[in-house]
Amino acid sequence: MPKQKSHSGAKKRFHVTGTGKIARNKAFKGHLNAHKSPSRKRRHAGKGLVAAGDVKLVRKLLPNF
């Protein structure tokens, strides 16, 4: 049986933490930030975790991680 390939888009967007959770980047910080308040930009900074309902789907896209 051939090896299963990881989804190329998912590889760029998600990574598995040391404890096995799936981390993601937060949305709404990419551009058009001049008019956004500093507190709003801080809220969207850093990493977030994938929601519990979506973990099964993301793990299917990343079978080798």
Q: Which domains does the chain have, with CATH numbers?
A: 8-61 (4.10.410.60)
pLDDT tens digits along 3-18: 999 999 999 999 999 9
pTM across the whole model: 0.80
pLDDT for position 1: 86
8 A C-beta contact, residue 58 and residue 12 = no
Strand partners, 47: 25
User: What integer is the mean pLDDT of 23-52?
Assistant: 96
User: What integer is the mean pLDDT of 34-53?
Assistant: 96
Separation between Cα atoms, residue 57 and residue 51, nearest integer Å? 11
pLDDT for position 11: 95
**Separation in Å, CA 34 to CA 27, 31, 39, 45, 47:** 16, 8, 13, 15, 21
pLDDT for position 34: 96
Separation between Cα atoms, residue 24 and residue 16, nearest integer Å? 9
pLDDT for position 65: 84
